[in-house]
């Protein structure tokens, strides 16, 4: 009787080994992932997903495929798999992990509107993670080039948060576009000088003075046609050009300041990054 039972068990327990196989497959994929062999790791996670009919490893495989794609800068693919990972689980902590990664991917690909929406939803679903979500909202603001809002977000976590200080510094280093334009309206060339483009500022001032003088001199000599011609074709061209240039220089410089800050974060920031 016992022999029959043992034989029966040995025959029918074979499929149970499938569980062991999938577990081993997960280990293989994990090892490849840990060795930064992301292409192969993705293949093996996909193999695991395909043969895991019970979808027992669905979350971990999707999540790690997402991470591997993210490591390879394939952000759209990564986002797709983090969404799948989120849908594959009902465990709250896993959902939080997947959604957080989705936020990070959206930060990296600068789809900040989506990132903000996701954080809004997460604040409702995960009220105990508010501080962490504030942190990621701060990052979204930084990538959205809104350093003032980023500073406010980080100060809500800690008033001397290193990222708050960095955001403040960037905000201070940036030029006011309105001020640059305003200065140029009042004194031609002043906007360029304010943004550090001294030669352009001086040249602009000289052209505006010369053409302005010709225009005024034509008016005082009652040469109306000359005044209109020189005023419209030369003076206004240089005057408007001076204002446009001031705006352009301010925007260019601000972009440079922002990019340098983001580069600094990428290279030297030691905290949690997207």
Partner 1 sequence: MKFFFLIFLISIISISAQETNFELDLFSKENRQKFGDHLFCKSDYLRAIEEYRHYLELESNDTSAFKLAFSYAEIGRFNEAEDNFKTLFFSSEFSEEAKYEFFRVQFLKHDFEKLRSTLKLNTYLPTKYYDNIKKLEYYSTLLDENYFTDTTKYFNLFSNREKIEARNFYTDTYFPQKKDPTLAAILSIIPGLGKVYTENYGDAVTAFLYSTLLTYAAIDNYSAGHKTRGIILGSLGAAFYAGNIYGSYTSAQIFNAKISLNIDQNLVRYLDSVNLFAPVYDFLCGK
Which positions touch partner 1 (CB under 8 A)? 1, 5, 8-9, 12-19, 21-22, 25, 42-43, 46-47, 50-54, 56, 214, 223, 225-226, 229-230, 233
Q: How far is CA 103 from CA 79, 96, 111, in A?
A: 9, 10, 9
The span from the first CA to the last CA of the chain, in angstroms, equals 62
Nearer to partner 1, 30 or 43 (CB): 43
Considering only the C-alpha atoms of the chain, give the largest distance between any 2 of them, rounded to a whole number of Å.
127
Distance CA 102, CA 83 (A): 7
Distance CA 274, CA 139 (A): 8
Q: Which residues, at least 6 apart from 58, have a Cβ–Cβ distance to it below 8 Å?
A: 49, 52, 84, 85, 88, 89
Nearer to partner 1, 20 or 186 (CB): 20
Nearer to partner 1, 42 or 102 (CB): 42
Nearer to partner 1, 15 or 271 (CB): 15
Nearer to partner 1, 140 or 227 (CB): 227
Give the shortest CB-71-to-partner 1 separation in angstroms. Answer: 17
Nearer to partner 1, 46 or 109 (CB): 46
Q: Which residues, at least 6 apart from 60, have a Cβ–Cβ distance to it below 8 Å?
A: 26
Give the shortest CB-145-to-partner 1 separation in angstroms. Answer: 34
Give the shortest CB-172-to-partner 1 separation in angstroms. Answer: 43
Phi and psi at residue 190, to the nearest 5°? -65, -35
Other C-beta atoms closer than 10 Å to the C-beta of 45 total 28
Give the shortest CB-9-to-partner 1 separation in angstroms. Answer: 6
Phi and psi at residue 198, to the nearest 5°? -65, -45
Give the shortest CB-65-to-partner 1 separation in angstroms. Answer: 11
C-alpha torsion angle, residues 111, 114, 116, 121 (rounded to 10): -160
Give the shortest CB-44-to-partner 1 separation in angstroms. Answer: 9
């Amino acid at each position: 009787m016992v022999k029959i039972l043992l034989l029966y068990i040995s025959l029918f327990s074979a499929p149970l080994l499938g569980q062991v196989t999938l577990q081993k497959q997960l280990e293989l994929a994990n090892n490849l992932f840990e060795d930064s062999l992301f292409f192969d790791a993705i293949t093996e996670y996909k193999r695991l997903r395909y043969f895991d009919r019970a979808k027992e490893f669905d979350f971990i495989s999707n999540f790690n495929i997402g991470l591997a794609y993210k490591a390879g800068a394939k952000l759209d693919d990564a986002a797709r798999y983090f969404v799948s990972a989120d849908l594959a689980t009902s465990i709250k902590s896993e959902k939080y992990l997947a959604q957080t990664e989705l936020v990070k991917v959206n930060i990296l690909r600068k789809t900040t509107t989506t990132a903000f929406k996701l954080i809004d939803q997460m604040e409702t679903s995960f009220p105990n993670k508010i501080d962490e979500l504030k942190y990621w909202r701060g990052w979204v603001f930084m990538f959205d080039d809104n350093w003032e809002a980023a500073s406010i977000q980080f100060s809500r976590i800690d008033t001397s948060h290193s990222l708050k200080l960095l955001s403040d510094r960037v905000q201070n280093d940036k030029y006011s576009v309105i001020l640059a334009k305003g200065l140029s309206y009042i004194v031609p060339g002043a906007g360029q000088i304010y943004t550090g483009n001294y030669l352009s500022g001086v040249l602009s001032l000289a052209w505006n003075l010369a053409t302005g003088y010709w225009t005024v001199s034509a008016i005082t000599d009652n040469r109306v046609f000359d005044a209109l011609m020189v005023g419209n074709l030369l003076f206004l061209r240089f005057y408007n050009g001076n204002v446009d240039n001031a705006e352009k220089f301010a925007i260019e410089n601000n972009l440079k300041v922002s990019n340098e800050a983001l580069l600094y974060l990428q290279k030297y920031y030691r905290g949690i990054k997207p």
